[in-house]
Structure 1
Amino acid sequence: MITYFIIFLLAAIPFLEVSMIVPVAVIGGLPVVPVIIIAFLGNLLTIILLIVFIDSIRNWRKRKKVNEEKNEPKSHQRAKQIWGKYGLPGLAFIGPFFVGSHLTALLAVTFGGTRSKTLVLMTASIAFWAISLGIAAHFGFDFLVKDEDDLGFITRLLNR
C-alpha cells in the first residue's frame, strides 16, 4: 500500500510525472493497471490544482520574472513552437513528453487556452501517456528481460 502512495506522490511531482514513474514501477515488477491508475491520479491532481490556481501562479511568475533576465528557457520556446504549429490539442498531447505535463498545462493556459479545454485535453493526454508507457514497459520488459520467476526489483526489495 505504501508503494502505491509513493507512486502517487512521485507522479504528482513536476518532471517525474507518469512518463517516468509508470515505466520504472512496471519494470520494477509492480502490476501495470494499478500503477497506471495511481500515477494518473497523482499527476492529474497537481494539474487540476495548477489550472485552478493559475492566476496566483501567473502573478508569482511575473514577480519572479522581474528579477530574472528576459531570456526564455528552451522548454518554453519548444512549447511555443508546438502551440504555433498544432494549437492546444497538439501542445496538450506532445508537450508532456518534451517539457512535462505541469509546464505544458501552465503554458497552454498562458498561451490562450481556456481552463476547461486545457483540463480536458491534459486529462486525456496524461491518460494516453500513462497507458501507452505502462503497456510498453510491461510488454517490452517482459519480452526482452523478465522471466516468469523474476518478480522485478521493486517487488524483491519489498519482500525482503
Structure 2
Amino acid sequence: MVKFFGGPVAGSSLGLPYAQTVLLTVAGMMTSVVIFSIIGRAFSKWMSRRRREKQKPVFSKKNRRIVQVWQRFGVIGIAFLTPIFLTPILGTVVAALFGAPKKHIFIHMLWSAILWGAAQTLFVYEFRDFASSLF
C-alpha cells in the first residue's frame, strides 16, 4: 500500500504467478487510494501542522513540480506519475487537495495502477532470473 514497487518485488520473492502479483499490487495501491481519498483533506491538514512544527518549507522543489504537473495535466498526470515517482498515498492526497472528484481519482488511479503494476511486475519477473544468475 505504501511503496508501489514493493508489490512486484514481494510477489517475485514469494514465487507468486505474474497475474496474481499484478492483481495484488493493484489491490494494494487501490486500497491506499480508497482510504486516502476519503481522509485526504484531513490528512493534508495534519501534515501541514506537522510541517509547520518542524519548520520545513512548504514550497520545496518537489512541491513545485507536483503543482506544475497538476496545472499541465490535472488528475491524469498525477495518476500517471503516482506509482513511479509519488507514493499512492501522496498521489491520492494531492489529487484530493486540488479538488479532483473522488470518482475521477478512483478511475485514473485504477488505470495507472494496472498499467504500472503490469509493467513493473514484468520488469521484475524478467530480470529476477538475470539477477539470480549474477549471484
The answer to whether structure 1 residue 71 and structure 2 residue 58 are counterparts is: yes
RMSD: 2.4
| 1-structure distance, mates of 2:62, 2:7 | 21
Task: After TM superposition, give the deviation of residue 63 of structure 1 in Å.
Answer: 3.1
Gaps of at least 5 residues in structure 1 are 1-11, 148-160
Q: Which moved more, 1:58-67 or 1:108-117?
A: 58-67
The answer to whether structure 1 residue 104 and structure 2 residue 91 are counterparts is: yes
Deviations 1:86-126 (CA, angstroms, capped at 9, x unpaired):
22111111233112221111111212322210121111111
Match of 1:141 in 2: 128
Contact 2:51/2:58 (8 A) holds in 1: no
Output the TM-score relative to the length of structure 2: 0.79
Moved over 4 A (4+): none
| 2-structure distance, mates of 1:58, 1:146 | 42
Q: Which moved more, 1:23-32 or 1:46-55?
A: 23-32
Match of 1:92 in 2: 79
Aligned pairs (5 A) from 1:40-79: 40-67=26-53, 68-79=55-66
Larger of the two Rg values belongs to structure: 1
Alpha-carbon distance change, 133 to 69 in structure 1, aligned in 2, over 3 angstroms: closer
Deviations 1:54-94 (CA, angstroms, capped at 9, x unpaired):
23223323433443344334332221122122221111112
With CA pairs under 8 Å and 6+ residues apart, which has the higher RCO, 1 or 2? 2
Contact 2:7/2:25 (8 A) holds in 1: yes
Secondary structure of the residue aligned to 1:56 is helix
- How many residues end up aligned between the 2 structures? 132
Output the TM-score relative to the length of structure 1: 0.69
Match of 2:21 in 1: 35
Gaps of at least 5 residues in structure 2 are none
Contact 1:79/1:104 (8 A) holds in 2: no
Contact 1:91/1:104 (8 A) holds in 2: yes
Task: After TM superposition, give the deviation of residue 134 of structure 1 in Å.
Answer: 1.0
The answer to whether structure 1 residue 123 and structure 2 residue 123 are counterparts is: no
